[in-house]
Structure 1
């Protein structure tokens, strides 16, 4: 199904004009920054001892982050183009939704055309590719696995809902975690020069954040996703099955940290440090699936949980680095 944007941007009282720059910022979702702190998780894992942290390492981290911003902007812009073309955004941001929500989707609001959105997506992708190429060239280390990971990360990111449409073939949840993992591991490898099981665990826990507000969004978006054949878990199973799936993901987040501490992949104190995340995750689940069952409030809580988790992962990286350096 293909939908068409209204003839002009609308408000509750009639046409309005929004500056193009503002619409492009909305298209790039710069206010949703929860993947970008991945660079701080990676940085914390290599920063100590500080005396050995080279200027090239700092530039590598900075360039990678800048490239990440452009690549993610391209990814979400292409997602909006696909959602506009297949009608899923029209269903999820329908006539009964507040205008402020519609404006977050410039194609639905009519503040940008498809041509403008695609131009923005490919321009930001090109800039992101150039920045990541420069990152690899400047990096103090280039282990073979990073030379594979960085280009794969770039290509796969753009296929989320465009091109191969990964999220339309049952892999959305895996993608959300995998993106977070790669965004932590890639810059870490380019600076540290080696693989780390501890950083892998940190990357998975970082990626669990976007996953565990994404699955609540999917629960809210079931009608639109089903209409276009986007097979999220929420669409494929009943309400009880979806609640069990999200509960299992929430428990797995804690169990991964516990297993890492128990096996020595992470320090013994790691699971204790991350306990506030477990408590907040339980509260999020109760909000979404018990009592009033407020899915969208649970989704908003997920952003808070992810940000708390990110701060604790940064602290864990610094503490672990200090122990190793001592």
Structure 2
């Protein structure tokens, strides 16, 4: 095992019970299994799903308590386990690595991580910015590229274009050569435009209105729903007949497929946590993040960052900023 100097203990923000407070405690440094690396975490991204796991309302993403929460991170490799040949001590990495299914989360100074889940972080971003990207980028990529094969000549509609997955989906679609449209509030139009999409006021226009205006009533080649519920139903009537494809990252409810079937179109769901929960397909997440880093360093993708900053001891405040709706952009906890 290749290693640099590592202490015996670390600080971690631990939650003991559902909706419980974060307690910063000393914990043993985790052991590094074959195929894994030990990462000194510099920053931990906070996702809405993290707050739902803490609140005990994410049945699809259970994490036994007491636990360290947090799924996204960026940091530096300090130990390399047997067989983890893609990384060496000192490498700066980022990834979606834990916080569900019993895997230690990222609100800690160190984490032992399956190397397949990691990629070298974008060179042009800080640790904080890099930690904002893994979950939302993988979710956007799996929907647009893996499922829908969005590309040149396609008209892509992203529902929730100013959100975490939405603003990244716009940029990935644009980098793939698509013409992109995005639903948003009028107050978010400038952000949507800055990422290269045409904004649509979802409250002031119906699907029939924007399908007619932007596609001459043909429908969008790809519709990516990042909102769920009624928005997924609206997606089914907004997609192009025969060749169109709807993707949803929140297709958890019960929906009628009749509108989609009558258009002869197709549908895919995205469940980003599957590789962490099942242990299968993890290498593809690392591959996606390597491609995302290339887009970032080529100037084709950048995260929308919330201006508020938090330390490990303020993890509860970071969660409150997400749940309270004050955040505009990605919330990140500075761990180092």
TM-score for the superposition, normalised by structure 2: 0.23
From the two aligned structures, give the one with the greater helix fraction. Answer: 1
Structure of greater relative contact order (alpha carbons < 8 Å, 6+ residues apart): 1
The normalised TM-score by structure 1 is 0.23
